[in-house]
Structure 1
């Protein structure tokens, strides 16, 4: 029977920051959602299971085969779907065989069903592509589908999926949900997608306190978690009340002893008590005080231990608070204008054709459409990353862009240094205060961006772009919720609702779009058209 067992796992970053400590987990033939806040070690846990990282303490035992889907696929210029599937050599052998150029030994090794099985895996994840398709030609969502197809291709005993619905359009999300709904082997799924998590058989929550397993799906987990948290808070309140009562009783006992000692001293001062009796009373008083002190200390230690035990059941969570200054953008100001724009990376095959579009004032517009329809290309065009083939693009206000990989940040620099680079003239105190609002306090602001998790990187990007003294009048967001935990998404929603500038958003998250007040949609289609 295939299984995965982790015993007392410990792991830390190269700079010594502890990520996982004493984690014990077992996974069987079921679909398990792995949840938790950004940076708590979910992706690290998958890498330890896959053998890409080695634990600093404890052991990992895997019985069975693994299929791994990573968070991102960063292809080389010539890398193909076949490379992703690991079958480039086997396909080359088939082609030599078909051309009559293969040896007898090679023919014996040929897998004649290979191309058919690759096609079936790609159809299973809803991707219209072939083995020779270059990954660089695919959108982020299409590459995610290709990676998922590669993960299921060899029918592994366990799927390890890291944010499988990131970058996917609605049909892509439904394909992932359907695939997992019919998956009868094991699966460990790191995700913040509540719809996907509701299809799981169990939820494992990873926190700074360790790992806890809950049978059932996301909805059941949230109900259980709320009940447990309420019980833990009641236990903590009771323990703190008991500790306060012990302190009050100790104080009253000490005051009584002080009054008794003072009365004895006054009698001794009158001289009407034999010296031997005075000595006995003094010894008894000292013994009594010492016993009382020891008893009080023991009770205090017991109640403090009870408080610590109750508090240890509650993870102290800081909320992300995004309070933004005003941009001063007037309602009638033209923010963005596209006139008859045709664009793409290949002039012979433009992705966007004859698109005209205008934004005015603090308008909130979502660019929507299936994967491959040109959403990211349009964002790159507006930001000046590529020039239009035909037509004109005019951005009339200052703007900032956060793309899917937070390319505004230098991964070799610290968060603090990135903030100073993007906000020249800001004082050190201003930088520190802005980063603290995004939960990068004290030494956390000195972390190198390249060492951060996906969610932490996006949070750092938000801090550096929005945390300055005057936010940009236009904010361009490309799938901003992809790597954020649910608490951080809700905090971002609250911050963007208070932002008074214009927002141009690429997203497939309908809940997020509704919560930040999207007013209009620019729909793109794969044929290059647009419908403002």
Structure 2
């Protein structure tokens, strides 16, 4: 039977930062959600299972075949869906056979059902594309669907999915949920999507304390987790109370012994006690003090051990709390204007047609629409990464754009170096203080960008763009919640509510858009949102 077993796994980044320590896990033929805070090692665990990474300690045993969906697909210019499926050569053979150009020996190797199975896999995830479709022509969400189709194409014993609903519109999310609902083999799903996690058979939580398995879906996990956390907090409160009581008793015992010693000293000073009796009393006092000290030490050690044990059951988590400096953007200031814009990557096949749009003051606007409707293209156009075919684009204030890969940052540089590069006037102390507000304290600020998880990278991007002495008046965000855990999303919501600049956002997260006060929607395509 297919299975995955991890025994005492340990792994660290090249710079020595420990990510996984002593992890023991077993996966069978069920759908398992893998959850945990950003940077705790979820994607790393998948890479250890596939063999892309090797553990520094422990062993990984895989029985059966694997199908992997990574967090991001970065295609080459000419890479096609067939390349993603790994069937380019097999399709070429079929075409030679159909044209009568294949040799007899080649014909015996031909897979005559291949095209039909590729079409079925793409239809299963709701993607209207063919094997010759270039991946660069697909939107981020469409590439996610293509990658998912490639992962299930060979009917593996285990699906390994890393954030499968990222970049997907509503219909894409529904397709992933339906696929997993009908999946009868094993699956390990890294996700922060609570709707998807509620379709799981089990939840594995990774924390800095290790890994814990919970039977049932996300809702059951949260209920059980809340119960266990409440019990652990009660145990911790009891242990703290006991430790404090032991310290008080030890202090009172020491004070009583000091008073007895002082009384004995005064008696000896009077000179009316035989020397032999004085010596005996002194010996007894020293023995009593020694015994009392040993008892107090033992009780303190036991109390501290109980306290440490109670604390070890509760992972101490720091919440990200953003306090941003003001931009001073006035309400009547024109921030952005598009007049009659037509744009795309090929002049004869524009993605955006004749679009006019204006933002004024600290407006908060969401660009909505189905995958492939041009949302990311529009952001790239506004940020200056793409010239319009027709019409004009005018951005009248300073801005920062965080795309889905945080391309504004240098992956080879540290977080601190990136911050200083984007905020050249800030002192070293100011840089350190700003990064600390985003939980990059001390040596954490020296981490290389390329070693960070997706969520950590977005947090670093926010730190570098918004943490400086002059935050930009316009913030452009492309699916900012895709790689964030629930706690970080809530912290981002709180921070963006306090931001006084304008926000232009692409997102499919309705709750997030509501919580940051999106007041207007620009709809591209007919499936989502309101009219412009």
TM-score, shorter chain, exceeding 0.5: yes
Q: Distance in 2 between matches of 1:259 and 1:361?
A: 74
Q: Distance in 2 between matches of 1:263 and 1:362?
A: 77
- Residue deviations 1:276-318 (CA, integer Å, cap 9, x gap): 1111111111111111101100000000000000000110101
Q: For residue 481 of structure 1, what is the aligned residue in structure 2? A: 481
Q: For residue 56 of structure 1, what is the aligned residue in structure 2? A: 56
Q: Distance in 2 between matches of 1:261 and 1:357?
A: 87
Q: Distance in 2 between matches of 1:252 and 1:371?
A: 71
Q: SS in structure 2 opposite 1:370?
A: coil
Q: For residue 175 of structure 1, what is the aligned residue in structure 2? A: 175
Q: For residue 342 of structure 1, what is the aligned residue in structure 2? A: 342
Q: Distance in 2 between matches of 1:519 and 1:393?
A: 22
Q: Distance in 2 between matches of 1:15 and 1:27?
A: 30
Q: For residue 331 of structure 2, what is the aligned residue in structure 1? A: 331
Q: For residue 220 of structure 1, what is the aligned residue in structure 2? A: 220
RMSD of aligned Cα (Å) = 1.2
Q: For residue 357 of structure 2, what is the aligned residue in structure 1? A: 357
Deviation at 1:531, TM superposition (A): 3.9
1:377 maps to 2:411:
no
Q: For residue 278 of structure 1, what is the aligned residue in structure 2? A: 278
Q: Distance in 1 between matches of 2:483 and 2:239?
A: 38
**Where in structure 2 are the equivalents of 1:161-200 lying within 5 Å?**
161-200=161-200
The answer (yes or no) to whether the contact 1:203–1:216 under 8 Å persists in 2 is yes
The answer (yes or no) to whether the contact 2:233–2:314 under 8 Å persists in 1 is yes
- Residue deviations 1:105-164 (CA, integer Å, cap 9, x gap): 111111000000000000001100011111111111100000000000011111000000
Q: Distance in 2 between matches of 1:235 and 1:49?
A: 36
- Residue deviations 1:434-490 (CA, integer Å, cap 9, x gap): 100110001101111111111111000000000011211111100001111110000
Q: For residue 513 of structure 2, what is the aligned residue in structure 1? A: 513
Q: For residue 151 of structure 2, what is the aligned residue in structure 1? A: 151
Deviation at 1:530, TM superposition (A): 9.9
What stretches of structure 1 move > 6 A for 4+ residues in a row? none
Q: Distance in 2 between matches of 1:279 and 1:504?
A: 86
The answer (yes or no) to whether the contact 2:521–2:530 under 8 Å persists in 1 is no
Deviation at 1:259, TM superposition (A): 1.2
Q: For residue 11 of structure 1, what is the aligned residue in structure 2? A: 11
Q: For residue 100 of structure 1, what is the aligned residue in structure 2? A: 100
Q: Distance in 1 between matches of 2:334 and 2:530?
A: 20
Q: SS in structure 1 opposite 2:346?
A: coil
User: Which structure 1 segments of 5+ residues have no match?
Assistant: none
Q: Distance in 2 between matches of 1:268 and 1:410?
A: 78
Q: Distance in 2 between matches of 1:330 and 1:469?
A: 18
**Where in structure 2 are the equivalents of 1:41-440 lying within 5 Å?**
41-440=41-440
Q: Distance in 2 between matches of 1:271 and 1:380?
A: 96
Q: SS in structure 2 opposite 1:522?
A: strand
Q: Distance in 1 between matches of 2:462 and 2:3?
A: 40
Deviation at 1:264, TM superposition (A): 1.4
- Residue deviations 1:216-265 (CA, integer Å, cap 9, x gap): 11111111111111111111111011011111111111111111111111
For the structure 1 residues 137 and 530, does the alpha-carbon distance in structure 2 shift closer, same or farther, using more than 3 Å as the test?
Answer: farther
Q: SS in structure 2 opposite 1:475?
A: strand
Q: Distance in 1 between matches of 2:477 and 2:260?
A: 73
Q: Distance in 1 between matches of 2:250 and 2:128?
A: 76
Q: Distance in 2 between matches of 1:235 and 1:57?
A: 33
Q: Distance in 2 between matches of 1:243 and 1:176?
A: 51
Q: SS in structure 1 opposite 2:108?
A: helix
